[in-house]
Amino acid sequence: MTNMEFSELTAVYQKLEEISGRIEMTSIISDFLGSAPDDELPTLILFLQGRAFPPWSDKELGIGGKLMIKAISNISGFPDEKVVDKVREKGDTGLAAEELLVNKTQTTLFKEKLTLQKVSDNLNKLAGLTGKGAQDKKISYINELLSFASPVESRYLVKIILEELRLGVGRGVVRDAIAGAFEVDAALVDRAYSLTSDLGEVARTAKKEGNAGLEKAEMKTGVPVEVMLAQKVGSIEEALEKFSPASFEVKYDGARIQIHKEGDRITLFTRRLESVTKQFPEIVEEARENITAKSAIVEGELVAIQDGRHPRPFQDLSRRIKRKYNIDEISQKIPVEINLFDAIYVEGKSKIDAAFKDRREILEKIVSPTEKFRIADDLITEDVKEAGKFYQKALDLGHEGVMVKNLDAPYQPGSRVGHMYKVKPIMETLDLVLVGATWGEGRRANWLASYLLAVLDPDSGQLLTIGRMGTGFTDEEFKSMTELLKEQVLEEAGKEVKLRPSVVVEVAYEEIQKSPTYESGYALRFPRLVRIREDKGVDDADTLTRVEEILGSRKGQ
């Protein structure tokens, strides 16, 4: 086992902070990965992206600004108030830590070099702490790291722990860096990640086995696979022009769920690769009893329901997804059903290369439907009128519209390819990330009443602002949004609040305009909240490319 010093990684961080060009960033990371020990690659890949754990891991650091301020105070010897003042002055907790920790009051008797492994070990220990005394123990693990760290290392440690290290190292940059470092095909890197959801392991495979190893990458139960995504079309007629006959399925108003079965072990993952197994025990039990295959990965849409199987508001389902305690109680209040539509792995074999019609047939053979555990309603037709009736039936039930699927298409994980389309009657919305907020005035003084929206740059991974949203909320909505965002506050300067980028919201708007005011170069006119997307993470947010596509299509109308 090697012991790479954390300072080697921080030197790369410093280089990356000085540049913004994708090609140069890729080159720096590629050179670094090429010289890194095999066993350090998974941790390095995570830390370069500002993550402590893979996106599908159920581990959470759960460290807020107040806890970090206490830790910095302990090691620096400055009182909490001084640390808070320095954070406000710098507008960045990491930079404040670097300056305050130049002369530490706490030092170890025998000063050791901080290693990558030590950082990883402490963060894993920290994530496992719960219950009485957990906060004090968390601070002790952070204190230990900060006591070993140089001031510069402290800056980046704090940013990683607070999950605010965003250097623009997105998936595309890492993919190309792995390809360059180990002279492998970038497309194979992408494919391997889509199947394994772990770029660190992909990098290790690329180094050890090259393209041949990447080609052998396979999905396995218990590790989520990136889902295939749909494109939007404006009408049934337009969809049938793409392929005909087609499979029409109800586009349920719920959350995409991937069910993994291996014997009696059942795991549920969202489309953002997060495990929600504990939150839905009734679906776990249904899957265990009604998927007849010993091992399988199937997909469906989870829906919160009320009388007559009509969908409840999406926020009710969000409450189920977020709930960590008293699961039995909330499951009685908010019942759910799942509607399955695809089988991508059965009895140890991948089915992604099979045609959709064959995968659907396999799904129907290995599932015994029940009232809660259903096969999605579908219709195979090339007739516009027949499809239109099916579409209207879906809307009458309270769902979003229909999915239109190519019967002969394979499954392409992680891709928004032309194998399936969604048809909805509502105006196209955007899924955006909340990166800041402003405290209100008057009777709204205790609420965060204006929210800064950001779109994802697909190349750099940076979040680029695109407007502010603050109208159309009821007092109760302002209150609940404030409660949600308080846990994400990183820094405050006057009325302005910087948020940890973690909450994704679906936003409607009147139009998109070019604007120098925001980093994206665009502004949304009259943005308004549709719903909070608990089922989506930052990496699922809409991209700048998507904004430009929408703008271009509307100009062409």
Average pLDDT over residues 397-409: 92
Distance of alpha carbon 49 from alpha carbon 349, whole angstroms: 32
Mean pLDDT in residue range 513-523: 89
pLDDT higher for 218 or 511? 218
Band of residue 453 on the pLDDT scale cut at 50, 70, 90: very high
Contact 51, 198 (CB under 8 A): no
Helices 116-127 and 6-17 pack at an angle, to 10 degrees, of 90
Alpha helices in 291-383 (DSSP H): 314-322, 327-333, 356-366
Per-residue model confidence (pLDDT) at position 557? 43
Q: How far is CA 269 from CA 121, 301, 359, in A?
A: 26, 11, 20
- Find the helix or strand (DSSP H, E) in which 440 lies: none
pLDDT bin (cut points 50, 70, 90) of residue 347 is: very high
In a domain, 72, yes or no: no
Which are the contacts of 512, defined by CB distance < 8 A and separation ≥ 6? Answer: 522, 523, 524, 525, 547, 550, 551, 554
Out of 361-365, 459-463, 493-497, least confident range: 459-463
Last residue of a domain, one of 400, 423, 446: 423
Q: In which residue are the tokens 């140069």 written? A: 24
Active site residue 159: no
Q: How far apart are CA 468 and CA 438, in angstroms?
A: 10
Written as six digits, the tokens of 360 are 């659907």
Cα separation, 291 vs 367, whole angstroms:
5
CA 5 to CA 334: how far, in whole Å? 50
> Are residue 250 and residue 322 in the same domain, yes or no?
yes
Selecting among 86, 159, 251, 536, the annotated active-site residue is 251
Which of the four pLDDT bands, split at 50, 70 and 90, describes residue 554? Answer: low
What's the confidence (pLDDT) of residue 253?
86
Q: Are 50 and 163 in contact (CB under 8 A)?
A: yes
CATH number, domain containing residue 248: 3.30.470.30
Contact 468, 453 (CB under 8 A): yes
In a domain, 533, yes or no: yes
The answer to whether the pTM exceeds 0.95 is no
- Domain tally, the chain: 2
Give SS3 for 239: helix
* pLDDT at site 110: 46
pLDDT for 426 equals 64
**Of 242-256, 317-331, 465-479, highest mean pLDDT:** 242-256
Is the same domain home to 436 and 551?
Answer: yes
CATH code at 477? 2.40.50.140
- In a domain? residue 81: no
Asked if residue 444 and residue 419 are part of one domain, the reply reads: no
pLDDT in tens, 27-43: 999 999 999 988 899 99
The string of pLDDT tens digits covering residues 464-481 is: 999 999 876 777 778 888
pLDDT > 90 in the chain, percent? 48
Quote the domain boundaries for residue 247.
Answer: 229-423
Tens of pLDDT, residues 153-195? 999 999 999 888 878 787 888 999 999 999 999 999 999 999 9
**What does the pLDDT read at residue 472?**
66
Q: What number is the average pLDDT over the span 329-356? A: 94
Instruction: Write out the two tokens for 486.
Output: 């308080």
Q: Give mean pLDDT, residues 195-215.
A: 92
Give the mean model confidence (pLDDT) for residues 310-330: 84
Q: List, for residues 70-126, the tens digit of each pLDDT value.
A: 989 988 889 888 888 888 888 788 898 999 988 665 554 446 789 999 999 999 998
CA 339/CA 257 separation, integer angstroms: 10
Residue 142: band (very low, low, confident or very high) from pLDDT cuts 50, 70, 90: very high
Residue 411 and residue 438 share a domain: no
Closest to 3 measured CA to CA, from 111, 145, 118, 112: 118
Q: Is the CB of residue 119 less than 8 Å from the CB of residue 157? A: yes
User: Which of 423, 449, 474 is the endpoint of a domain?
Assistant: 423
CB distance 403 to 251 below 8 Å? yes
Which amino acid, residue 513?
Q
- Chain-centroid distance, C-alpha 276: 14
Minimum mean pLDDT range among 6-10, 317-321, 520-524:
317-321
Is 351 within the bounds of a domain? yes
Angle between helices 22-34 and 6-17 (to 10 degrees): 170
- The owner of tokens 């709204």 is 444
Alpha helical stretches, state H, 130-170: 134-148, 151-161
Query: How high is the pLDDT of residue 3?
Result: 82
494: left (phi over 0), alpha (psi -120 to 50) or beta: left
